[in-house]
Amino acid sequence: MEYTMIAMKLLGSLGLLIFGMKMMSDALQKMAGPQLRHVLARMTSNRLSGMLTGTLLTCAVQSSSATTVMTVSFVSAGLLTLGQAISVIMGANIGTTLTAWIMSLGYNVDLTSVVFPAFALGMVLIYRKSHRYVGDFLFGIAFMFLSLVMLSSAGKEMDLEHNQAVVDFFASFDTGSYWTILAFLAIGTIITCIVQSSAAVMAITILLCSTGVLPIYLGIALVMGENIGTTATANLVALGANTQARRAALAHLLFNVFGVVWVLIVFYPFVDIVCRLAGYDPTQIGQHTERLPVVLAMFHTCFNVVNTAILIGLVPQLERICRWLLPDKGQAESEGFRLQYIQSNLVQTPEIAVLQAQKETAAYGLRTAHMFDMVRNLFAETDGKQFARQYDLIKQAEDESDLMEIEIGKYLEQVSDDHLSDETKEKIRRMLREISELESIGDACFKLARTIVRKRETGKAFTEHQNAQLQVLMSLCDKALSQMNTVMRGHRSDHNINETFRIENEIDQLRQQLKVENVQAVNDHEYDYAVSTFYVDLVNELEKLGDYVVNVVEARFGK
């Protein structure tokens, strides 16, 4: 019963550690979310700055998985290049070593003096709307430190150093054998993949080493396995992402595997050097065990710093390897319906999600413009087979347009369930309006195509004047769509909404002129009423399309 209670305390402490780190990470991401895009864009201009950015970001959020998943999200959304992402991921591996140092501190310093003030101050801030994320951050720190205190206490209660069965079990392993090292490396990898937290496995490793039952060589093998296992998180969430995002996750795996390979080649000399740096003699088993947490933290730091120093100059080569292992799928990847930037499993914070949705909405706008180009081609097509094929493509594009509206809308609903700032709420409202109007543009294009098909089926033909005037009206609509997409891809402050209004006024005036001319032409028997009907339907639908474009631009400007 006593060991059962200790085991429950141990598991509870690990759960509290993971929860506290996640709470810290989420709070910091929410506080920095709106600025993350600008920070990463400015601080990843070269490899060194990208690496430092990854290091500082991971030190802040206390989770390399959070940083790498965030980086994969940014690559997926087109906010970072693969080269920039690789340098950030390298820095994330260095930044995560701070966690091991904090844990080693927890085994040598009483952290309860920090825990309770953090809880008290966090409780005050968490109920103040303007500072609730700071309160969440302090609660995360308090939970993390409390878990370390509880783990240290559980380790002392277990008294493993006096449990002969446990001592004999670990003593039975030959620490001088590479097979033993590889076995513990595999164990560390598998356990980290299962629990999805290298911090939890690091805590267990430090606990076992600090009691003196786990030899330092085996503890370091577990740490090496944790470095490989921690890459599983980013690779799992990248499975449903685009090729660039999967390459970024693969780069994380290759980076850590390369590091493990070269360390295994020089394993014993390298570990001995680290032990000397920490003031520990690995031959004196069971002595100075209080230094072992520091040795593990020191090894974790040296491993990642040296590995980064070796590979930071080889980022282009690593990028080429990732491109070779995950080649582009050519046209098959770009054709058909597939969201380019939104993957729901990559959502980290509402701010990042909104950035992804903005990119996807801009891509939606380009799709509608392409659909209108297909309508213009249909209008000019004379070959029967090509005409039928073009109409089928337009119908398919209209179906995809409907699906895009639904998928983006569902994604924005998912994002809106979180705690949002007023600015973020307003962005989501604007985007919901934008996608609704973009879907209306797709509907208008399909209605134009159906009218053209009906006219062709009747065998009727427009006069040269009608064809010329429709081409002028289509050119104005095309210009309006181009202006709309320019606005959607850029920053609002860089554009003027008056240009869109000017084009719309031209469309309205031409529509009125053509309707008057049409009535006069029918009266003068220039063409029959059936041709007149098709003509007016096209003119009216083109004018509606111009109205939808204005609505999209107004939504973008918050009008």
The pair of three-digit structure tokens given for residue 425, joined into one six-digit string: 């709420």
- Residue 319 pLDDT exceeds 80: yes
pLDDT tops 60 at residue 292: yes
b/e per residue 232-245 (b: at least 16 CB within 10 A): bbbbebbeebbbbb
Query: What distance in Å separates the CA atoms of residue 557 and residue 230, rounded to the nearest whole number?
Result: 42
Q: In one letter, which amino acid is 103?
A: M
* pLDDT score at 375: 92
pLDDT-derived band of residue 333, with 50, 70 and 90 as boundaries? very low
Q: Which of 157-161, 167-171, 175-179, 441-445 has the highest mean pLDDT?
A: 441-445
**What does the pLDDT read at residue 36?**
59
Distance of CA 556 to the CA centre of its chain: 23
- CB burial of residue 262 (10 Å; 0-12, 13-18, 19+): middle
Distance CA 510, CA 469 (A): 9
**Mapped to the 3 state alphabet, what secondary structure does 295-328 carry?**
HHHHHHHHHHHHHHHHHHHHHHHHHHHHHHHCCC
Q: What's the burial of 532, exposed, middle or buried (CB within 10 Å: 0-12/13-18/19+)? A: middle
- Residue 216: predicted pLDDT: 82
CATH number 1.20.58.220 given to 349-557: yes
Phi, psi of 35 (to 5 degrees): -95, -5
How many whole angstroms from its chain centre is CA 25?
Answer: 15
What share of the chain has pLDDT > 90, as a percent? 15
Quick one: residue 288, left, alpha or beta (phi over 0 = left, psi -120 to 50 = alpha)? left
Distance CA 10, CA 16 (A): 10
Query: What is the arithmetic mean of pLDDT over 238-265?
Result: 82
pLDDT for res 329: 62
The answer for residues whose C-beta is within 8 angstroms of residue 349's C-beta and 6 or more apart is 26, 29, 30, 33, 418
Tell me the three state secondary structure of residue 329: coil
Domain borders along the chain are: 2-325, 349-557
Q: Please compute the mean of the pLDDT values over residues 459-465 and round it to a whole number.
A: 87
Cα–Cα separations (whole angstroms), residue 308 to 33, 233, 235, 303: 27, 20, 20, 9
CA 543/CA 505 separation, integer angstroms: 10
pLDDT in tens, 70-114: 777 677 666 677 888 888 888 888 887 887 787 777 666 666 777
Quote the pLDDT of residue 332.
Answer: 39
In the 3-class helix/strand/coil scheme, how is 48-82 assigned residue by residue?
A: HHHHHHHHHHHHHHCCHHHHHHHHHHHHHCCCCCH
pLDDT of residue 132: 76
| Mean pLDDT over the full length of the chain | 80
Which residue carries 């080693």 as its tokens? 104
Identify the top-confidence range among 123-127, 230-234, 436-440. Answer: 436-440
Mean pLDDT over 370-392 rounds to: 89
The answer to whether residue 364 scores a pLDDT higher than 50 is yes
Return the pLDDT at 509: 92
545 touches 537 (CB < 8 A):
no
